[in-house]
Amino acid sequence: MTDAREIAFEMIKNTLEQKMFLADVKAKNQNLDAQDNAFVNMLVLTTFRHLTYIQKILRQFIKKKLNAAAQDSKYIFYLACCEILYLDTPDYAVLNSYVNLAKKKTDKYVSGFVNAVLRNVCKQKANLKKEDDGSFFSNEFFHILKQNYGKKTIQKIQKASVQEPSLDISVKEDAPLWAQKLNAELLPSQTLRLKNNGKITELAGYQEGKWWVQDFSAALPVKCLSNLNGKKVLDMCAAPGGKTAQLCALGADVTALDVSALRLQKLQENMNRLGFNPKVICQDALVYMDEFKQEPFDVVLLDAPCSATGTLRRHPELVYIKREKDVEKQAQLQEMFLDKVSPLVKKGGILLYCTCSIAKKEGEQQINAFLAKHKEFKIMPISSKELCGDETLGELITEEGFIRTLPFYMEKSGGMDAFFVARLKKEA
Ligand SMILES: C[S@@+](CC[C@H](N)C(=O)[O-])C[C@H]1O[C@@H](n2cnc3c(N)ncnc32)[C@H](O)[C@@H]1O
C-alpha cells in the first residue's frame, strides 16, 4: 500500500529530477484522503522551504558519495530531516517510517545506512536546530537574483520568501463587509487577507460566487484600469482566470484566451461559480495574433508566461528547479508576444503587461526594450493613489511608473508575491 510518506517521496523526487512544478506532480496523487493530502502538502512544502539547510547538514553526516543503489535515499533523508527538525515528529516514528520506506525504495543495505544516519541526526537535533541559518536559496537561485539586486535586498527577499503565504481573496463588491464576515484583514488595495487555514470551499460566500482566490500582487494589474464598463478587453493568457474575473466584475466585454485546455476548464469553472460570462478561446496567443483581423481592443492584458520566480512563498520548489537559462527562455518568449501585440491594441488604447517574475529581464528590462522598438507606445505611469486612494502603496511604484513588488513589502501583514506591471498607452 502506498502511504503518505511514500507519496511525499515521489513528489520530491519527481520535482527535483524532472524540474516540474509540485502542483503538476501532485495531480497524479489525487486518491489520498483529505487528512493525508494535507500532511503530504505540509511535509513536502516544509522540506523545500528548508532543503538548502538540510542538504548542508547532511554533508556533515554523509561523507562519502552515494553509490548508484543508494541514490534515492537522499530524498528519504530530506523528508526525514524535515520531520526531525521542523515537524517535531517523535524520533522512533521517523526512524520506523523512513527505514521501512528505504527498504521499499532501495534495498536492505541502504536501509541500514539510512537507519544509522538518521539516528545520528536525531541525537544532534538540538544543536542542528540552534545552528539553522535560515538558508533557503540555492546557489543557482542566488545567481538569478544577483543579476538585479544587491546583497542586502537578496537577504530580505530570502527571509520573506520562506514564509508561508496567507490566503488572499478578491471580492466582487463591498470588500469591507466581506472582511468582517470572513474575519479578514482588509489590505489597502481592497484585497482581503485571511489567516484561516480551513477548507476554502467551505468559507462563507465561496459557493455563492462572491469572491475568488487571488494574491494581493496578482490583483494589482487590473486595479490600474478604470472606466472599463462596456470596453472590449482581451485577456491574453487568462487561465485560471483571476484577472478575467476582475475585468468581468468591472463590466468589461472580456475575451479570455489561453493555450491550455485544462487550465481553461478551471477558468470556466471559476466563471460559472462567479456568474461571469467572458468569451473563451483556446488557442496559442502567437497564432491568434498572427491571424488577427478584427477590430482592435480597447485594452489588451498580457499576463505573460514567465519563470514564476515571484511566487516562491507558494512554490518553494522553484528555488531548486529554476535557472538563469529559464529566465532567458521566458524573456525570449515574452519578446515574441510583445512584438506581435501592437495591431491588437486600438489607437489610444492600453497595453497592460505583467509577470509574476522577480527577474527584471522579464519585467523592467523587457518593457524598456519593447518601448525602444515600438515607438507607438508610451508609459502611462501608475500611481499609488489609483491603487488605494493615497500614498500607502508608494514603495511599490518605480521611478518610471511601473509596479514592482517584492516579497518583503508589507511584511507586517505577511508580505506578497513579487510582481511586475507596466501600463502602456498606444498613440492616438
Ligand atoms: C501567469 S499564467 C496566467 C494567470 C492568469 N492571467 C490569472 O490571472 O489567473 C500564464 C498563462 O499563460 C498561458 N500560456 C502560456 N503560453 C501561452 C501561449 N503561447 N498562448 C496563450 N496562452 C499561453 C498558460 O497556459 C497560463 O495559463
- How does residue 307 score in pLDDT terms, banded at 50, 70 and 90? very high
Does 426 or 25 have the greater pLDDT score? Answer: 426
Residues linked to residue 169 through DSSP beta bridges, in sequence order: 192, 213
Superfamily of domain 4-130: NusB-like (1.10.940.10)
Mean pLDDT of 414-423: 97
| Residues above pLDDT 70, as percent of the chain | 98
CA of 64 to the centre of ligand 1 (A): 44
Residue 390 has pLDDT above 80, yes or no: yes
Q: What is the pLDDT of residue 166?
A: 92
| Residues above pLDDT 90, as percent of the chain | 89
CA of 282 to the centre of ligand 1 (A): 11
Query: Is 303 a pocket residue for ligand 1 (Cβ < 6 Å)?
Result: yes
CA of 81 to the centre of ligand 1 (A): 36
Scanning the structure block, which residue is given the C-alpha cell 476582475?
246
User: Picking from 1-15, 39-53, 259-273, which range would have the lowest pLDDT averaged per residue?
Assistant: 1-15
CA of 256 to the centre of ligand 1 (A): 10
Q: Burial of 38 by CB count in 10 Å (0-12 exposed, 13-18 middle, 19+ buried)?
A: middle
This prediction's pTM: 0.94
Q: Which fold has domain 166-214?
A: Alpha-Beta Plaits (3.30.70)
Query: Is 234 a pocket residue for ligand 1 (Cβ < 6 Å)?
Result: no
Residue 21 has pLDDT above 70, yes or no: yes
CA of 257 to the centre of ligand 1 (A): 8
Query: Is 258 a pocket residue for ligand 1 (Cβ < 6 Å)?
Result: yes
CA of 132 to the centre of ligand 1 (A): 38
Closest C-alpha to 7, from 39, 49, 46? 39
The C-alpha cell of 258 is what? Answer: 489561453
pLDDT tens sequence across 322-364: 999 999 999 999 999 999 999 999 999 999 999 999 999 999 9
Mean pLDDT of 365-374: 98
Best probe residue, ligand 1, of 170, 215, 258 (max atoms within 8 Å of C-beta): 258
Q: What is the pLDDT of residue 68?
A: 81
pLDDT tens sequence across 147-169: 999 999 999 999 999 999 999 99
Query: Is 221 a pocket residue for ligand 1 (Cβ < 6 Å)?
Result: no
Can you give the C-alpha Rg of the chain in angstroms?
23
CA 288 to ligand 1: nearest atom: 20
What does the H/E/C string look like for the chain?
CCCHHHHHHHHHHHHHHHCCCHHHHHHHHCCCCHHHHHHHHHHHHHHHHHHHHHHHHHHHHCCCCCCHHHCCHHHHHHHHHHHHHCCCCCHHHHHHHHHHHHHHHCCHHHHHHHHHHHHHHHHCHHHHHHCCCCCCCCHHHHHHHHCCCCHHHHHHHHHHHCCCCCEEEEECCCHHHHHHHCCCEECCCCCEEECCCCCHHHCCCCCCCCEEECCCCCCHHHHCCCCCCCCEEEECCCCCCHHHHHHHHCCCEEEEEECCHHHHHHHHHHHHHHCCCCEEEECCHHHHHHHCCCCCEEEEEEECCCCCCCCCCCCCCHHHHCCHHHHHHHHHHHHHHHHHHHHHEEEEEEEEEEECCCCHHHCHHHHHHHHHHCCCEEECCCCHHHHHCCCCCHHHECCCCCEEECCCCCHHHCCCCCEEEEEEEECC
Q: What is the pLDDT of residue 32?
A: 78
Query: Is 362 a pocket residue for ligand 1 (Cβ < 6 Å)?
Result: no
CA 355 to ligand 1: nearest atom: 1
Q: ω before 240 within 30° of 0 (cis)?
A: yes
Query: Is 260 a pocket residue for ligand 1 (Cβ < 6 Å)?
Result: yes
Residue 1 has pLDDT above 60, yes or no: no
Query: Is 363 a pocket residue for ligand 1 (Cβ < 6 Å)?
Result: no
Query: Is 159 a pocket residue for ligand 1 (Cβ < 6 Å)?
Result: no
pLDDT tens sequence across 51-103: 999 999 999 999 888 888 888 999 999 999 999 999 999 999 999 999 999 99
Residue 2 has pLDDT above 80, yes or no: no
CA of 238 to the centre of ligand 1 (A): 5
Which residue lies with its CA nearest to atom 25 of ligand 1?
260
Q: What is the pLDDT of residue 337?
A: 98
- pLDDT, averaged across the chain: 95
Residue 238 has pLDDT above 80, yes or no: yes
Query: Is 205 a pocket residue for ligand 1 (Cβ < 6 Å)?
Result: no
User: Picking from 4-13, 126-135, 192-201, 316-325, which range would have the lowest pLDDT averaged per residue?
Assistant: 192-201
Q: Are 358 and 416 in contact (CB under 8 A)?
A: no
Query: Is 259 a pocket residue for ligand 1 (Cβ < 6 Å)?
Result: yes
pLDDT tens sequence across 90-143: 999 999 999 999 999 988 888 999 999 999 999 999 999 999 988 999 999 999
Residue 28 has pLDDT above 70, yes or no: no
Q: What is the pLDDT of residue 252?
A: 98
Best probe residue, ligand 1, of 234, 237, 315 (max atoms within 8 Å of C-beta): 237
Query: Is 263 a pocket residue for ligand 1 (Cβ < 6 Å)?
Result: yes
Pick the CATH number of 216-426 from 3.30.360.10, 3.40.50.150, 3.30.565.10, 1.20.1260.10: 3.40.50.150
Query: Is 331 a pocket residue for ligand 1 (Cβ < 6 Å)?
Result: no
Residues linked to residue 345 through DSSP beta bridges, in sequence order: 297
Query: Is 417 a pocket residue for ligand 1 (Cβ < 6 Å)?
Result: no
Query: Is 346 a pocket residue for ligand 1 (Cβ < 6 Å)?
Result: no
Phi and psi at 148, nearest 5°, equal: -125, -20
Query: Is 310 a pocket residue for ligand 1 (Cβ < 6 Å)?
Result: no
CA angle at residue 428 from 350 to 386, to 5 degrees? 40
Domains of the chain, by residue range, sit at 4-130, 166-214, 216-426
Cα dihedral sign, 386-238-372-346: negative
Residue 372 has pLDDT above 80, yes or no: yes
